[in-house]
A and B are shown apart, each in its own frame.
Chain A
Amino acid sequence: MSATTIPIHAVGGKSQAFEYLTTKKDELIGWARKFSLFPYPFVTACCAMEFMSVSSTPYDTDRFGAALPRFSPRQADLLMVVGTISHKQAPVLKKVYDQMCEPKWVMAFGVCATSGGFYQNYAAVAGIDRIIPVDIYVPGCPPRPEMVIDGIMRLQDMIARSHHPIVTKDF
Protein backbone atom coordinates (compact mmCIF):
# COMPACT_ATOMS: atom_id res chain seq x y z
CA MET A 1 0.00 0.00 0.00
CA SER A 2 1.57 3.28 -1.03
CA ALA A 3 1.66 6.20 1.35
CA THR A 4 -0.71 8.25 -0.79
CA THR A 5 -3.65 5.83 -0.92
CA ILE A 6 -6.20 5.94 1.90
CA PRO A 7 -8.11 2.66 2.32
CA ILE A 8 -11.84 3.16 1.80
CA HIS A 9 -12.95 -0.34 2.60
CA ALA A 10 -10.96 -1.87 5.39
CA VAL A 11 -11.20 -5.38 6.76
CA GLY A 12 -13.58 -5.85 9.73
CA GLY A 13 -14.89 -2.34 10.42
CA LYS A 14 -15.18 1.25 9.35
CA SER A 15 -12.16 2.88 7.84
CA GLN A 16 -10.36 5.80 9.38
CA ALA A 17 -11.45 8.11 6.59
CA PHE A 18 -15.08 7.19 7.14
CA GLU A 19 -14.79 7.81 10.86
CA TYR A 20 -13.04 11.11 10.34
CA LEU A 21 -15.80 12.26 7.99
CA THR A 22 -18.59 11.14 10.30
CA THR A 23 -16.97 12.83 13.29
CA LYS A 24 -16.73 16.07 11.37
CA LYS A 25 -20.30 15.65 10.18
CA ASP A 26 -21.44 15.11 13.76
CA GLU A 27 -19.56 18.19 14.90
CA LEU A 28 -21.10 20.31 12.18
CA ILE A 29 -24.62 19.09 12.76
CA GLY A 30 -24.13 19.30 16.53
CA TRP A 31 -22.97 22.89 16.21
CA ALA A 32 -25.96 23.78 14.08
CA ARG A 33 -28.46 22.02 16.34
CA LYS A 34 -27.13 23.30 19.62
CA PHE A 35 -27.30 26.94 18.58
CA SER A 36 -30.77 26.71 17.11
CA LEU A 37 -32.85 25.16 19.83
CA PHE A 38 -36.58 25.75 19.50
CA PRO A 39 -38.03 25.19 22.95
CA TYR A 40 -41.58 24.02 23.53
CA PRO A 41 -42.28 25.59 26.89
CA PHE A 42 -44.59 23.06 28.52
CA VAL A 43 -45.36 25.53 31.28
CA THR A 44 -47.53 24.66 34.22
CA ALA A 45 -46.53 26.18 37.56
CA CYS A 46 -44.31 28.59 39.50
CA CYS A 47 -41.23 27.88 37.40
CA ALA A 48 -43.05 29.78 34.66
CA MET A 49 -42.03 32.99 36.43
CA GLU A 50 -38.39 32.11 36.09
CA PHE A 51 -38.96 30.97 32.53
CA MET A 52 -40.38 34.39 31.74
CA SER A 53 -37.38 36.00 33.47
CA VAL A 54 -34.82 33.88 31.68
CA SER A 55 -36.38 34.66 28.30
CA SER A 56 -36.24 38.40 28.90
CA THR A 57 -33.60 40.93 29.91
CA PRO A 58 -31.07 40.68 31.47
CA TYR A 59 -30.73 36.89 31.29
CA ASP A 60 -31.91 36.34 27.73
CA THR A 61 -31.90 32.90 26.17
CA ASP A 62 -31.65 34.54 22.76
CA ARG A 63 -27.89 34.75 23.28
CA PHE A 64 -27.84 30.97 23.18
CA GLY A 65 -30.07 30.64 20.18
CA ALA A 66 -32.88 29.21 22.30
CA ALA A 67 -35.20 32.19 22.37
CA LEU A 68 -37.96 31.48 19.91
CA PRO A 69 -40.59 29.27 21.51
CA ARG A 70 -42.60 27.07 19.21
CA PHE A 71 -46.00 26.18 20.57
CA SER A 72 -46.48 23.32 18.21
CA PRO A 73 -44.62 20.12 19.06
CA ARG A 74 -44.03 19.45 15.39
CA GLN A 75 -41.89 22.55 15.13
CA ALA A 76 -40.00 22.30 18.39
CA ASP A 77 -36.98 20.28 19.39
CA LEU A 78 -36.44 21.08 23.07
CA LEU A 79 -39.29 20.14 25.39
CA MET A 80 -38.86 22.27 28.50
CA VAL A 81 -41.14 20.83 31.14
CA VAL A 82 -41.54 23.84 33.40
CA GLY A 83 -43.37 23.09 36.62
CA THR A 84 -45.18 20.24 38.30
CA ILE A 85 -46.79 17.57 36.16
CA SER A 86 -49.84 16.09 37.80
CA HIS A 87 -51.27 12.72 36.89
CA LYS A 88 -54.06 14.52 35.06
CA GLN A 89 -51.53 16.37 32.92
CA ALA A 90 -49.34 13.29 32.30
CA PRO A 91 -51.22 12.00 29.21
CA VAL A 92 -50.99 15.48 27.70
CA LEU A 93 -47.24 15.59 28.31
CA LYS A 94 -46.75 12.15 26.82
CA LYS A 95 -48.81 13.09 23.79
CA VAL A 96 -46.82 16.27 23.20
CA TYR A 97 -43.54 14.39 23.61
CA ASP A 98 -44.64 11.68 21.17
CA GLN A 99 -45.68 14.28 18.63
CA MET A 100 -42.27 15.91 18.55
CA CYS A 101 -39.98 14.83 15.74
CA GLU A 102 -36.44 13.58 16.15
CA PRO A 103 -34.03 14.97 17.21
CA LYS A 104 -35.62 16.06 20.42
CA TRP A 105 -34.33 16.76 23.88
CA VAL A 106 -36.14 17.14 27.17
CA MET A 107 -35.21 19.53 29.94
CA ALA A 108 -36.75 18.97 33.37
CA PHE A 109 -36.99 22.56 34.61
CA GLY A 110 -37.33 22.75 38.36
CA VAL A 111 -37.45 20.11 41.07
CA CYS A 112 -41.10 19.25 40.47
CA ALA A 113 -40.30 18.05 36.98
CA THR A 114 -37.06 16.44 38.14
CA SER A 115 -38.35 14.42 41.06
CA GLY A 116 -41.78 15.68 42.08
CA GLY A 117 -40.25 18.28 44.38
CA PHE A 118 -41.93 18.31 47.75
CA TYR A 119 -45.24 17.12 46.29
CA GLN A 120 -44.86 13.45 47.11
CA ASN A 121 -48.54 12.54 47.02
CA TYR A 122 -51.36 11.07 44.99
CA ALA A 123 -51.61 13.98 42.61
CA ALA A 124 -48.13 14.75 41.25
CA VAL A 125 -45.92 12.58 39.09
CA ALA A 126 -42.70 12.08 41.04
CA GLY A 127 -40.44 13.22 38.27
CA ILE A 128 -41.25 13.32 34.57
CA ASP A 129 -38.51 10.79 33.85
CA ARG A 130 -41.08 8.23 34.95
CA ILE A 131 -43.00 8.85 31.76
CA ILE A 132 -40.60 10.36 29.24
CA PRO A 133 -36.79 10.21 28.93
CA VAL A 134 -35.05 13.34 30.19
CA ASP A 135 -31.76 14.74 28.92
CA ILE A 136 -30.98 17.49 31.42
CA TYR A 137 -32.29 18.17 34.90
CA VAL A 138 -32.28 21.75 36.20
CA PRO A 139 -33.02 21.69 39.94
CA GLY A 140 -34.30 24.64 41.91
CA CYS A 141 -37.60 25.71 43.32
CA PRO A 142 -37.70 27.69 41.12
CA PRO A 143 -34.18 27.67 39.66
CA ARG A 144 -32.47 31.02 39.30
CA PRO A 145 -32.16 32.14 35.68
CA GLU A 146 -28.41 31.58 35.83
CA MET A 147 -29.11 27.95 36.72
CA VAL A 148 -31.38 27.57 33.72
CA ILE A 149 -28.75 29.06 31.46
CA ASP A 150 -26.20 26.65 32.93
CA GLY A 151 -28.61 23.85 32.09
CA ILE A 152 -29.01 25.09 28.52
CA MET A 153 -25.25 25.36 28.09
CA ARG A 154 -24.68 21.85 29.41
CA LEU A 155 -27.35 20.58 27.08
CA GLN A 156 -25.60 22.36 24.26
CA ASP A 157 -22.33 20.63 25.20
CA MET A 158 -24.18 17.34 25.25
CA ILE A 159 -25.63 18.01 21.81
CA ALA A 160 -22.24 19.04 20.47
CA ARG A 161 -20.61 15.86 21.73
CA SER A 162 -23.30 13.43 20.70
CA HIS A 163 -23.73 11.32 17.65
CA HIS A 164 -26.09 12.68 14.97
CA PRO A 165 -26.97 9.86 12.62
CA ILE A 166 -28.54 10.85 9.33
CA VAL A 167 -29.87 7.39 8.72
CA THR A 168 -31.31 5.69 11.79
CA LYS A 169 -32.79 2.28 12.36
CA ASP A 170 -36.33 3.65 11.95
CA PHE A 171 -35.76 4.76 8.38
Chain B
Amino acid sequence: MTADFVARLQEGLRPLAAEATLAHGVAVFVIAPGALVDVVKKLKSEYGFDLFLDVTAVDWQPQIPRFEVVWHFYSTLQHVRVRLKARVSEGDPTVDSLVAHYGSARYMERECHDMYGIEFRGNPDLRPILLYEGFVGHPLRKDYAKDREQPLVPYIR
Protein backbone atom coordinates (compact mmCIF):
# COMPACT_ATOMS: atom_id res chain seq x y z
CA MET B 1 0.00 0.00 0.00
CA THR B 2 2.61 2.49 1.02
CA ALA B 3 5.13 1.58 -1.69
CA ASP B 4 2.90 2.20 -4.71
CA PHE B 5 1.32 5.25 -3.10
CA VAL B 6 4.82 6.66 -2.68
CA ALA B 7 5.60 5.80 -6.31
CA ARG B 8 2.41 7.61 -7.43
CA LEU B 9 3.40 10.56 -5.29
CA GLN B 10 6.85 10.69 -6.79
CA GLU B 11 5.38 10.57 -10.31
CA GLY B 12 2.85 13.26 -9.56
CA LEU B 13 5.30 15.66 -7.97
CA ARG B 14 8.08 15.00 -10.46
CA PRO B 15 8.42 18.42 -12.13
CA LEU B 16 8.25 20.32 -8.86
CA ALA B 17 10.31 18.11 -6.60
CA ALA B 18 13.96 17.79 -7.50
CA GLU B 19 14.87 14.72 -5.43
CA ALA B 20 12.66 12.06 -4.00
CA THR B 21 13.78 9.47 -1.47
CA LEU B 22 12.24 7.19 1.10
CA ALA B 23 13.79 7.63 4.52
CA HIS B 24 12.65 5.34 7.36
CA GLY B 25 9.08 5.17 6.15
CA VAL B 26 8.67 8.82 5.17
CA ALA B 27 8.72 10.02 1.55
CA VAL B 28 11.15 12.93 1.31
CA PHE B 29 11.05 15.55 -1.44
CA VAL B 30 13.60 18.30 -1.88
CA ILE B 31 11.97 21.31 -3.45
CA ALA B 32 12.90 24.84 -4.38
CA PRO B 33 11.51 27.35 -1.84
CA GLY B 34 9.39 29.02 -4.50
CA ALA B 35 7.61 25.78 -5.37
CA LEU B 36 6.27 25.25 -1.86
CA VAL B 37 2.72 26.47 -2.28
CA ASP B 38 2.19 24.55 -5.53
CA VAL B 39 3.46 21.32 -4.02
CA VAL B 40 1.37 21.78 -0.88
CA LYS B 41 -1.78 22.50 -2.88
CA LYS B 42 -1.21 19.33 -4.85
CA LEU B 43 -0.51 17.30 -1.75
CA LYS B 44 -3.64 18.56 -0.05
CA SER B 45 -6.11 18.35 -2.91
CA GLU B 46 -4.92 15.42 -5.00
CA TYR B 47 -3.23 13.16 -2.50
CA GLY B 48 -5.22 13.86 0.67
CA PHE B 49 -2.49 15.18 3.00
CA ASP B 50 -4.91 16.92 5.30
CA LEU B 51 -2.89 17.05 8.52
CA PHE B 52 -0.02 19.50 8.63
CA LEU B 53 2.30 18.05 11.24
CA ASP B 54 5.28 20.30 11.63
CA VAL B 55 7.55 22.94 10.19
CA THR B 56 11.06 23.40 11.47
CA ALA B 57 14.48 24.37 10.19
CA VAL B 58 18.01 23.00 10.35
CA ASP B 59 21.01 25.30 10.58
CA TRP B 60 23.75 23.82 8.44
CA GLN B 61 26.36 26.42 9.16
CA PRO B 62 28.95 26.66 7.59
CA GLN B 63 27.29 25.20 4.48
CA ILE B 64 25.85 27.60 1.92
CA PRO B 65 22.80 27.91 1.71
CA ARG B 66 22.67 27.87 5.47
CA PHE B 67 19.14 26.93 6.46
CA GLU B 68 17.03 23.99 5.43
CA VAL B 69 13.33 24.37 6.18
CA VAL B 70 11.57 21.05 6.73
CA TRP B 71 7.80 20.43 6.55
CA HIS B 72 5.99 17.24 7.52
CA PHE B 73 2.51 16.27 6.37
CA TYR B 74 0.31 13.29 7.19
CA SER B 75 -2.61 11.80 5.34
CA THR B 76 -5.22 10.62 7.80
CA LEU B 77 -6.79 8.31 5.22
CA GLN B 78 -3.71 6.77 3.59
CA HIS B 79 -1.66 6.78 6.84
CA VAL B 80 1.51 8.01 5.16
CA ARG B 81 3.83 10.86 5.91
CA VAL B 82 5.71 13.10 3.56
CA ARG B 83 8.60 15.45 4.23
CA LEU B 84 9.45 18.52 2.16
CA LYS B 85 12.81 20.19 2.41
CA ALA B 86 13.92 23.50 0.97
CA ARG B 87 17.19 25.37 1.38
CA VAL B 88 17.24 29.08 2.03
CA SER B 89 20.20 31.34 2.44
CA GLU B 90 21.18 33.37 5.45
CA GLY B 91 20.76 36.66 3.62
CA ASP B 92 17.16 35.98 2.58
CA PRO B 93 15.65 33.27 4.79
CA THR B 94 12.16 33.69 3.37
CA VAL B 95 9.62 31.03 2.46
CA ASP B 96 5.91 31.24 1.82
CA SER B 97 3.53 30.75 4.68
CA LEU B 98 0.94 27.98 4.77
CA VAL B 99 -1.61 29.78 6.95
CA ALA B 100 -4.02 30.01 4.04
CA HIS B 101 -4.06 26.22 3.74
CA TYR B 102 -3.71 24.94 7.29
CA GLY B 103 -4.77 26.69 10.49
CA SER B 104 -2.08 24.93 12.50
CA ALA B 105 0.62 26.66 10.44
CA ARG B 106 0.16 29.88 12.43
CA TYR B 107 1.79 28.82 15.67
CA MET B 108 4.34 26.47 14.13
CA GLU B 109 5.67 29.11 11.77
CA ARG B 110 5.88 31.56 14.66
CA GLU B 111 8.05 29.09 16.53
CA CYS B 112 10.31 28.48 13.54
CA HIS B 113 10.70 32.22 13.11
CA ASP B 114 11.50 32.65 16.80
CA MET B 115 14.13 29.95 16.90
CA TYR B 116 15.81 30.37 13.51
CA GLY B 117 14.73 33.66 12.07
CA ILE B 118 13.03 32.15 9.03
CA GLU B 119 10.60 34.68 7.55
CA PHE B 120 7.24 33.30 6.50
CA ARG B 121 5.84 35.55 3.81
CA GLY B 122 2.12 35.81 4.30
CA ASN B 123 1.89 34.94 7.99
CA PRO B 124 0.28 38.04 9.54
CA ASP B 125 1.41 37.23 13.06
CA LEU B 126 5.10 36.51 13.59
CA ARG B 127 5.30 37.69 17.20
CA PRO B 128 7.61 35.76 19.51
CA ILE B 129 5.82 32.73 20.85
CA LEU B 130 8.33 30.76 22.89
CA LEU B 131 10.63 33.68 23.49
CA TYR B 132 9.68 37.05 24.84
CA GLU B 133 9.50 40.63 23.67
CA GLY B 134 12.92 42.14 23.79
CA PHE B 135 14.84 38.95 23.09
CA VAL B 136 17.50 39.69 20.51
CA GLY B 137 18.67 36.90 18.29
CA HIS B 138 17.53 33.45 17.31
CA PRO B 139 18.71 30.87 19.84
CA LEU B 140 18.69 27.68 17.77
CA ARG B 141 21.12 29.12 15.26
CA LYS B 142 24.55 27.60 15.68
CA ASP B 143 26.19 30.96 16.33
CA TYR B 144 24.00 31.74 19.35
CA ALA B 145 25.81 30.65 22.51
CA LYS B 146 23.68 28.30 24.57
CA ASP B 147 24.11 30.12 27.87
CA ARG B 148 23.80 33.70 26.67
CA GLU B 149 20.95 34.83 28.90
CA GLN B 150 18.92 37.97 28.34
CA PRO B 151 17.18 38.50 31.68
CA LEU B 152 14.06 40.63 31.91
CA VAL B 153 14.19 41.02 35.69
CA PRO B 154 17.46 42.40 37.12
CA TYR B 155 19.34 39.90 39.24
CA ILE B 156 19.62 40.57 42.96
CA ARG B 157 22.57 38.16 43.33
| A and B touching (Cβ–Cβ under 8 A) | yes
Give the interface residue-count category, chain B: 10 to 19
A88, chain B: closest CB distance, angstroms: 4
Question: What number of A residues sit within 8 Å (CB to CB) of B?
Answer: 17
Which of B131, B152, B155, B156 has the most chain A CB atoms inside 10 A of its CB?
B152
Q: Does A24 contact B (CB under 8 A)?
A: no
Chain B contact residues: helix, strand, loop or mixed = loop
Is the CB–CB distance between A133 and B156 below 8 Å? Answer: yes
Whether A90 contacts B151 in the complex (CB less than 8 A), given A121-B146, A133-B156, comes out as: yes
Residues of B close to A90: CB separation below 8 A: 151-153
Residues of B close to A131: CB separation below 8 A: 153, 155-156
Residues of B close to A121: CB separation below 8 A: 146-147, 149
Q: Does A162 contact B (CB under 8 A)?
A: no
Residues of A close to B153: CB separation below 8 A: 87, 90-91, 93-94, 131
CB < 8 Å: which of B144, B156, B157 contacts A122? B144
Q: Does B24 contact A (CB under 8 A)?
A: no
List the interface of chain B (C-beta within 8 A of A): 131-132, 139, 144-153, 155-157
